Amino acid sequence: MNFIQAKEIALKELTEISNYLGEKCIFFKTYEVKDKGWVFSYNTEEYLLKQNYSHALAGNHPMFVTLDGKLKYINLEEYDKLFENTWTKVIVE
């Protein structure tokens, strides 16, 4: 599994979320976590690009795609634990 494959998995999920909400969602922060996978944070395009707070998602958890291609949502405790004792790299596209 590489970043491009992981992003495809996350994008498929993001498309489903966008379709369900009836509003386009986009990634705003992506991290590679060494030897574990990739974290994708997202929100609505309207909120992220125009700061329209009435379109902000509340309580959404980041997506995590593991090295073996499994997608799961991680809460704050899991998020903190994921980054313990390892390096991360912010991915800018």
Per residue in 22-44, pLDDT (tens digit) is 999 999 999 999 899 999 999 99
Question: How long is the chain?
Answer: 93
Rounded Cα distance, 17 and 74, in Å? 16
* Range list of β-strands (E), the chain: 25-33, 37-44, 63-66, 71-73, 88-90
Confidence band of 93 (pLDDT split at 50, 70, 90): low
Span 40-81, pLDDT tens digits = 999 999 999 999 999 999 889 999 999 999 999 999 888 888
